[in-house]
């Protein structure tokens, strides 16, 4: 089942200090209704975007009505952002032995504790694997040497736990998911690594660690032969098959199609700075945004529309990263901040309304900012000789220089407010004529 998108982004708080600590986040979808708890992990290897994008969508676009779903979408966040399989080596080979000197020691200990949590019943570790797994060799891309489009188990069963019939469950999940996959080449197969029989590589993995701690665990592999959105789509098909098998009721905010998954991945890129004094919709953003007000000498704090976004301090600029890709550069202009103003009055296409700082407002033809004379209004890209403040000036799209827009289409513009030399906040004016709701600053539960 699915429900229409309501147009209000859920902001997941991510604070990245100047030291750039790379902790992962845990997001708990709690229904309040009894049922099993599914733990879904993405991003253990930073070069597998299908898995961590699917886990991110599960975090932001799903709600649970029965049971619980816990999601770690960015386990190896540094490797995700730096586009590496493992900046400090393969994290998925550190669950049997790891020294305290390893830079990822604390991260591995933290996820181990979550895995062992008595409430967790089933664990999925999302991967992107090569080619297409088949039980028998067919060609170099199809055979037992490949991992893509497979559901991995370490052994056939795990006695004495509720979901211990691993092979039977895996076969049921694959049969259910394959019913929605028309292309036969893309269908899933169960792969048993028989880890306990001497598979030295698999002995080091997260799923086998879970098995040794009496947790039903599965590896889900989408094929690297597909683009990111295809992989994420197949991951979500498998996750939903698990939820239905476990009796976990859910809703999602988009129709589960390949195009819808691609649209959601490509368009869920919003960042708010300094407790939402500024908000940036970064879809189709320019490669750099100049003169962005920042607090000098302080680590940037930000919130983002999904847990794969990071804002990195690069000394002369801030780099906004979204998973494996660079989104834009924020070139700072430093100010002290003023907290005396929370909202401004705007006349939008002839209608007056109060607008909170940090909002994005749809305008079809023209707007005018009305606020106290104690404040100075700066519409970025608008100039008029002798005018110190744009307060009380009716402004059309044609009055603003296109090159100052936030987006490449020249539709999205910044309106900044100052008190003397102090920065108060900003709103975005959107001339694309598409309705845009104000963004909520509601935070998800990220407790352990």
Q: Can you give the residue ranges of every domain in the chain?
A: 18-266, 269-430
- Quote the CA–CA distance of 296 and 315 in Å, as a whole number: 11
Question: What percentage of the chain exceeds 90 in pLDDT?
Answer: 90
Structure token pair of residue 378 = 């700066």
pLDDT of residue 297: 84
Query: SS3 of 360, please?
Result: strand
pLDDT digits (tens, 9 = 90+) for 147-169: 999 999 999 999 989 999 999 99
What is the CATH code of the structural domain delimited by 18-266?
Answer: 3.40.630.10
Burial of 60 (0-12, 13-18, 19+ CB in 10 A): buried
Helix (H) or strand (E) holding 418: strand 412-419
DSSP annotation of 57 reads H
- Quote the CA–CA distance of 211 and 203 in Å, as a whole number: 10
Q: DSSP 3-state helix, strand, coil percentages of the chain (rounded to 5)? A: 20, 30, 45
pLDDT of residue 20: 52
What is the rounded average pLDDT of the residues 340-350?
Answer: 96
Asked whether the beta carbons of 445 and 30 are under 8 A apart, the reply is yes
- Quote the CA–CA distance of 349 and 396 in Å, as a whole number: 10
What is the rounded average pLDDT of the residues 109-128?
Answer: 98
User: Whose structure tokens read 């779903």?
Assistant: 69
- Quote the CA–CA distance of 292 and 311 in Å, as a whole number: 13
Contacts of 175 (CB under 8 A, 6+ apart): none
Question: What percentage of the chain exceeds 70 in pLDDT?
Answer: 92
Predicted TM-score of the model (pTM) = 0.92
Contacts of 165 (CB under 8 A, 6+ apart): 157
pLDDT digits (tens, 9 = 90+) for 383-403: 999 999 999 999 999 999 999
Neighbours of 119 (CB within 10 A): 11
Asked whether the beta carbons of 59 and 71 are under 8 A apart, the reply is yes
- Quote the CA–CA distance of 261 and 257 in Å, as a whole number: 6
């Amino acid at each position: 089942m699915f429900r229409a998108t309501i147009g209000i982004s859920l902001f997941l708080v991510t604070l990245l200090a100047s030291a750039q600590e790379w902790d992962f986040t845990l997001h708990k979808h709690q229904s309040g209704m009894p049922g099993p708890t599914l733990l879904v992990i993405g991003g253990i290897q930073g070069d597998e975007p299908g898995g961590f994008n699917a886990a991110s969508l599960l975090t932001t676009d799903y709600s649970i009505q029965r049971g619980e779903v816990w999601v770690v979408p960015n386990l190896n966040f540094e490797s995700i952002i730096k586009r590496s399989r493992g900046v400090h080596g393969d994290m998925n080979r550190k669950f049997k032995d790891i020294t305290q000197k390893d830079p990822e020691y604390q991260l591995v200990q933290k996820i181990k504790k979550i895995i062992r949590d008595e409430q967790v019943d089933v664990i999925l570790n999302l991967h992107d694997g090569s080619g297409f797994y088949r039980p028998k060799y067919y060609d170099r891309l199809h055979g037992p040497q490949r991992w893509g489009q497979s559901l991995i188990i370490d052994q056939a069963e795990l006695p004495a736990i509720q979901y211990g019939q691993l092979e039977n469950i895996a076969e049921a999940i694959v049969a259910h998911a394959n019913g929605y996959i028309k292309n036969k080449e893309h269908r899933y197969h169960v792969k048993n690594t028989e880890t306990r029989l001497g598979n030295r590589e698999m002995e080091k993995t997260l799923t086998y660690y879970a098995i040794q701690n009496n947790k039903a665990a599965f590896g889900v592999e989408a094929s690297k032969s597909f683009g990111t959105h295809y992989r994420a789509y197949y991951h979500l098909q498998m996750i939903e098959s698990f939820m239905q098998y476990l009796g976990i009721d859910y809703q999602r905010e988009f129709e589960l199609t390949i195009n819808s998954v691609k649209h959601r991945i490509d368009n869920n890129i919003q960042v708010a700075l300094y407790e939402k004094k500024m908000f940036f919709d970064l879809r189709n953003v320019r490669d750099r945004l100049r003169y962005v007000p920042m607090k000098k000498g302080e680590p940037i704090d930000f919130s983002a529309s999904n847990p794969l976004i990071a804002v990195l301090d690069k000394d002369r600029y801030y780099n906004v990263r979204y998973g494996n890709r660079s989104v834009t550069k924020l070139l700072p202009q430093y100010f002290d901040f003023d907290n005396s103003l929370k909202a401004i009055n705007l006349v939008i296409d002839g209608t007056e309304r109060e607008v909170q700082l940090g909002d994005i407002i749809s305008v079809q033809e023209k707007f005018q900012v009305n606020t106290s004379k104690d404040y100075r209004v700066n519409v970025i890209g608008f100039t008029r000789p002798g005018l110190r403040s744009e307060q009380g000036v009716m402004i059309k799209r044609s009055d603003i220089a296109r090159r100052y827009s936030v987006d490449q289409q020249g539709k999205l513009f910044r309106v900044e407010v100052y008190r003397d030399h102090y920065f108060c906040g900003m709103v975005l004016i959107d001339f694309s004529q598409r309705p845009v709701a104000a963004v909520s600053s509601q935070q998800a539960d990220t407790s352990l």
